[in-house]
């Protein structure tokens, strides 16, 4: 450290210092270094960078949940009727959910909002799925009465899995 250096770094034995944070130039040890896509950083710089990406208001996760649940519920009506085409339509509905949530919350983002979108998509798909399962549990379902078509139930399960996973992936910023 020189006399001109205004930043006082914690004292780390010279033998341990092998790295410096590529953002603030603070000495870091291999044990405390965090590897990022742009190089090694100290924990303080990583936390500061993560806070930049959390831009939501307190109400945004609730709005995201409501929008995701409503659109997912509307799409679940189709899944029993579309059959095999549910595989093609459900990811599109997941993308619609993600885009609608982004519009409602003015493109703000956070991990809590992403989780709210995931839970909303699942909750929206569940009511009709549960209604399709109830006859099976009560003993009057097609499985126990000797026949019937279980495929609408299967497509509702496929819809729930595909719509929730694609909505979450899109909300996180992954491109499918």
Q: What number is the average pLDDT over the span 148-165? A: 87
| Position 72 pLDDT exceeds 60 | yes
Contact 142, 148 (CB under 8 A): yes
Tokens found for residue 125: 């798909």
- Provide the pLDDT for residue 99: 95
User: Which comes out higher in pLDDT, residue 167 or 145?
Assistant: 167
pLDDT, tens only, 92-136: 999 999 999 999 999 888 889 999 999 999 999 999 999 888 877
| Position 176 pLDDT exceeds 50 | no
DSSP code per residue over 87-143 = HHHHHHHHHHHHHHHHHHTTT---HHHHHHHHHHHHHHHHHHHHHHHHHHHHT-STT
pTM of the model: 0.68
């Amino acid at each position: 450290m020189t006399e001109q250096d205004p930043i006082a770094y914690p004292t780390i034995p010279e033998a341990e210092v092998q790295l410096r944070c590529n953002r603030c130039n603070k000495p870091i040890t291999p044990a405390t270094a965090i590897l990022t896509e742009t190089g090694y950083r100290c924990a303080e710089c990583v936390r500061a960078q993560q806070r930049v990406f959390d831009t939501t208001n307190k109400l945004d996760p609730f709005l995201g949940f409501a929008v995701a649940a409503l659109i997912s519920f509307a799409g679940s009506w189709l899944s029993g009727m579309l059959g095999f085409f549910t595989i093609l339509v459900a990811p599109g509905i997941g993308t619609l959910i993600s885009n609608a949530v982004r519009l409602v919350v003015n493109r703000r983002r956070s991990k809590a909002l992403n989780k709210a979108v995931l839970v909303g998509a699942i909750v929206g798909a569940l009511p009709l799925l549960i209604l399709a399962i109830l006859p099976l549990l009560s003993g009057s379902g097609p499985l126990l009465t000797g026949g019937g078509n279980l495929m609408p139930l299967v497509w509702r399960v496929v819809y729930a899995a595909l719509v929730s996973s694609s909505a979450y992936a899109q909300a996180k910023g992954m491109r499918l």
